[in-house]
């Protein structure tokens, strides 16, 4: 099943960070906080303005975004937990630079 967001809403999937400390201690799911990063899966058509025109969204599927801890509405679809939120709830887009990508490999 697929879901298509309306207007200025987006569908995102939370990206779970590594649940292990530097010393190797594994953090259980009950003690871990919800991740504040996600991957955009789908975007709506855009924000409907007062004059009737539609402003397209700046986000695109596949982008990694940063959002507030309690932002959006959580829904389950096909056993997968997804987050529905407005574009204005997104705090920023996470962009990998060439130097960051090289540091991860090294």
Higher pLDDT among residues 20 and 7, named by residue: 7
Task: Report in angstroms the alpha-carbon separations of 88 from 3, 10, 21, 57.
Answer: 20, 10, 33, 10
State the pLDDT at residue 83: 92
pLDDT at 34: 61
Superfamily of domain 9-105: GroES chaperonin (2.30.33.40)
Phi-psi region of 14 (alpha: psi -120 to 50; beta: other; left: phi over 0): beta
Give the pTM: 0.70
Checking if the pLDDT of 79 tops 90, the result is: no
Residue 75 vs residue 103, higher pLDDT: 75
Q: What are phi and psi of 88, to 5 degrees?
A: -70, -15
* Average predicted confidence (pLDDT) for the chain: 80
């Amino acid at each position: 099943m697929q879901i298509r967001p309306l207007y200025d809403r987006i569908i995102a999937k939370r990206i779970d960070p590594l649940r292990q400390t530097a010393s190797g201690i594994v953090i259980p799911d009950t003690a871990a906080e919800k991740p504040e990063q996600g991957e955009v899966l789908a975007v709506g058509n855009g924000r409907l303005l007062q004059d009737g025109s539609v402003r397209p969204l700046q986000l695109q599927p596949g982008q990694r975004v940063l959002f507030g801890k309690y932002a959006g509405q959580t829904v389950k679809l096909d056993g997968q937990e997804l987050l529905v939120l407005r574009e204005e709830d997104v705090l920023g887009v996470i962009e990998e630079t060439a130097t960051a990508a090289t540091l991860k490999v090294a």
